[in-house]
Chain A
């Protein structure tokens, strides 16, 4: 039975140490297909490091990562992107000199047919040849993707579409964040990791983002979310995991976690519970 309902993503004993500090301390996590699990915790709890371990930007010292039952521990980010795992970054890593269109097209990179052949030497040379000769199939593919990018950008209303040809460095922080999410969606991800998608956004922008994430979830996308805004976390999550000093200190439905004494202590110690209260009151 467990195999029939094998989770899409499962982490077992995932650990990462930096010198004397254990940033991620034997974390277990299961994320079912179509589910949304949120990771919360004070700053420095190890949330982003956990994301880096899952997406291959960093390698764990112990433990394993399984995606659809396959061991993907320590695979390179390129390989994981090809497996349709997409992520956004906490500090916003758009390609500054690329237009919004090009930024999002990079998201579709792994889907390009010219990129597919993984044969050494011949594969890249073929890719170069296709890029220079540009047969009609390549042109058609590019056209199709450009249309698709416009559809993705339309999900953000009038935020990005009018700026489609502007370089990303000229965008506001909130818009850069949106470009990151659009780029991730262009990958057609099977698993999406969102690292604080609403950081630096005002309440109405946050509500907009919350609506979008809810939409994505309703469409069946599997999402792992790091977020500080508890209101959003409570509304969206199937399950919440609380991390503090690298360890998982609580896990369960939102309401249950919120009243857990250990969670309250962790947040009080870092002075964040006040913010959480204010936000849920707002």
Chain B
């Protein structure tokens, strides 16, 4: 009994921390209809600013909290002013991509400034424990609860009684009407981003103290948890976000009690998927909402795609095909092999995110499924590598589509959240399902690529193999796009309501897109597994998903040639300029931001 009380208290305290992140997300969503993927990065910034204050400046606790809140709020204001405000009249996908880019830039800046190694963030409170029932709570627990409750109260008073608070509520109900009545929506946005960032920063500080450790991986985890709590409570609903956070804390805590610590995140994401499937508007939304208003503007940037003449494509393919016969270095071939593998992933993502408009943030999970399937089949069942890779593609197509299917009813940002969560679930299952996946040890000794009994070991044959596979996949995809399916996918992307009214079943066509795209990604993962000879649950991570997304946007959403050009550019250019590995993610983030701002249709145009 007493341990259950302990788990309950722990759950409520953790939930309180999530609430600080989730309330910020809910405020921003309420006003801008935007899920701010950079919220976790502000939390990370808060934790490190707190570390600077505590360890280097030796500030007392109240001053630390104020210092963190002010700096985080400033970061929030900068994000709003320079990252999002210029995109106000942009296509719907733009602010979402911008917050993803901002998040990567902030995380990398923190990592480059403070190094990726974990740091200790000492609690500035006395280490005493009070007996409560069978468990104990310390002063920090009380502080976290106190900050959570008092900021919720302050926020309530602000929204309810201050003039700016009224404006925030007015703008969240009807932005255009509020503007007509003279509400300065930019000022409202500033206020909201400032408050949200201050809350996020303080929660980063408190969590760092709670676990006495901070590291750069906190960011993505915080975004995910905050988003889960917010969506559970109903996006944009501030009290709902608080309740959602407490619920999330409790579910995790009880899950850990029953199954162990490594299952904590699995429970969080399962809760998210269950809520998204059963009540996509959150637990506290009224059962049936008015049908959504017709959306003005289009999802992707309208553009006329650059037409590349057929002969030019043939020449390009011929040049790359004979490249290994020319005196080029091993290093060039190696770089291009990576580009072809990324190209396959980008083909998959450009179909899913561009052609049918489901911006997937968990695409690396499809690589992982393909890689593990192919590796395990060839290792344990001695399936020939060529067949194993195809099986990996098929498994990725089937399993990926089944896993993603709960998100088919969702739209826009929700799809991104769901795919992000599903990607995390896949990686957690790989980590925990030791009997099959060998858990954290990973799989080593994967046989090299081979075809019809001949091993493909020298770089030339690996190059030809991966290039051929990519070209075949690209040709198939181009053929798909020119069929009735291509226009059906694009119709669903442009207006799913009108598409349904003309008989296009969303489930059917989203499934087909994920089946086709899943195959390409799975094949890419399979080839990678045999090339690397060792994989584990971290080989295919969120960074790769974001890299693929940047490639796809660089090339032009839905654009087959663009996906390949983007992959060559993003893999090749850092090599040409000899950019150190730790700066690459930062550069990808900046490229993403610049593209969204200045050339949303990408190099070759959206299709």
Contacts and interface: CB of A to CB of B under 8 A. Distances in A.
Contacts of B323: none
Contact of B502 (A96, A128, A170, A187): A187
Interface in B43-58: none
Interface in A47-92: 52, 55-59, 76-78, 80-82, 86-87, 89, 91
A142 interface: yes
Interface residues of A, number: 48
A169 B606 CA distance: 13
Contacts of B413: none
Interface residues of B, number: 39
Given A96-B298, A142-B484, A169-B298, A128 B512 contact: yes
A93 B288 CA distance: 23
A239 interface: no
Nearest to B516: A128
Contact of A93 (B490, B497, B515): B497
B539 interface: no
A184 to B, nearest CB: 8
Given A97-B302, A131-B485, A77 B294 contact: no
Given A97-B490, A98-B490, A134 B483 contact: yes
Contact of B300 (A89, A97, A109, A132): A97
A78 B504 contact: yes
A107 B487 CA distance: 11
Interface string B522-554: 000000000000000000000000000000000
Interface in A99-114: 102-103, 105-107, 109-110, 112, 114
B515 A167 contact: no
Interface in A125-147: 125, 127-128, 131-132, 134, 142
Contacts of A89: 294, 498, 501
Contacts of A127: 485, 508, 512
B516 A106 contact: no
Interface in B480-503: 480, 483-485, 487-488, 490-491, 493-495, 497-503
B511 to A, nearest CB: 6
A93 B491 CA distance: 11
A94 B291 contact: no
A183 B502 contact: yes
A109 B501 contact: no
B476 interface: yes
Interface string B289-302: 01100100110101
A156 interface: no
B498 to A, nearest CB: 4
B480 A132 contact: yes
Q: Which of A95, A102, A110, A169 has the most CB of B within 10 A?
A: A95
B304 interface: yes
Q: Which of A103, A124, A187 has the most CB of B within 10 A?
A: A124
Given A97-B490, A98-B487, A132-B480, A167 B500 contact: no
Nearest to B302: A169
Q: Which of B294, B494, B503 has the most CB of A within 10 A?
A: B503
Contact of B291 (A52, A78, A97, A167): A52
B262 interface: no
A109 B484 contact: yes
Nearest to A85: B501
A97 B493 CA distance: 9
B508 to A, nearest CB: 5
A69 to B, nearest CB: 22
B479 A110 contact: no
Contacts of B297: 96
B505 interface: yes
A77 B490 contact: no
A87 B290 contact: no
Contact of A81 (B302, B304, B503): B503
A95 B480 contact: no
A105 B502 CA distance: 10
A123 B508 CA distance: 9
The 7 closest A-B pairs by CB, nearest first: A81-B503, A131-B483, A110-B503, A93-B498, A95-B494, A96-B298, A77-B500
Interface of B: 286, 288, 290-291, 294, 297-298, 300, 302, 304, 476, 479-480, 483-485, 487-488, 490-491, 493-495, 497-505, 508, 511-512, 515-516, 606-607
19 contacts: A18-B290, A55-B501, A56-B501, A57-B291, A57-B501, A59-B288, A76-B500, A78-B500, A81-B503, A86-B501, A87-B501, A89-B294, A89-B501, A94-B498, A95-B494, A105-B487, A107-B502, A110-B503, A123-B508
